[in-house]
Chains A and B, each alone.
Chain A
């Protein structure tokens, strides 16, 4: 009964390719997020969606396009992959977008390696 699940767990791809990472949560939460963790373990938010609407876009290149087909899913599509995109991408969800009453639940991460 995984609360937040991401697929794939590992992704190795060549520069210039387009790839997608999928995320699903079964917690009934309204808000979902994508975070990026770089090689120095620094975590930074990329996007957040509340009820399928984009509410945060943190100066992420437009090669990154999140898509939320419904409240339980938030997918991340990346076009024209670059070496610098190599990182671990975490999906998360919370019941409220303002973190006022609960924690954020994180997926296990997708380790993307661009070669």
Chain B
């Protein structure tokens, strides 16, 4: 069935780049999404990429999509303490399938 997998934890130093990876099985997604969830809060859409694109850049965020390998990544440049959160990748046709979320911890 449909599946989205992510590594569960990532720890980076403030100012470094963070790279969060995701693999998926369902190829029918028109878009693939990255959502951010801060503690006790809802889901905030960070960025998304059209399935025919390889890369999308949005300020500090860079999304790379390798359709052949079904691999999606999110790079956050100059990571700040405010970036500490759980990051979910998601895709799907008529329902969003979420990964388990990557907990990003940013330390000084």
Contact = CB atoms under 8 A, between A and B. Distances in A.
B33 to A, nearest CB: 6
B94 interface: yes
Interface stretch (B11-19, B38-46, B63-71): B38-46
B43 A99 contact: no
A70 interface: no
Contacts of B42: 90, 106-109
Given A41-B86, A41-B101, A90-B43, A104 B96 contact: yes
Question: For chain B, which range describes its interface: under 10, 10 to 19, 20 to 34, or 35 or more residues?
Answer: 20 to 34
B61 interface: no
A107 B37 CA distance: 12
Contact of B93 (A42, A98, A105): A98
B62 interface: no
A109 B92 CA distance: 21
A101 B30 contact: yes
A31 to B, nearest CB: 9
B95 A108 contact: no
A25 interface: no
B88 to A, nearest CB: 7
Interface in A91-115: 92, 97-101, 103-109
Contacts of B96: 33, 35, 45, 92, 99, 104
Contacts of B88: 43
Nearest to B41: A108
B29 interface: yes
Report, nearest first, the 5 A-B pairs whose CB atoms are least far apart: A108-B42, A106-B43, A43-B98, A45-B95, A100-B30
Interface of B: 29-31, 33, 35, 37, 41-45, 48, 86, 88, 92-98, 100-101
Interface of A: 33, 35, 40-45, 48, 55-56, 58, 90, 92, 97-101, 103-109
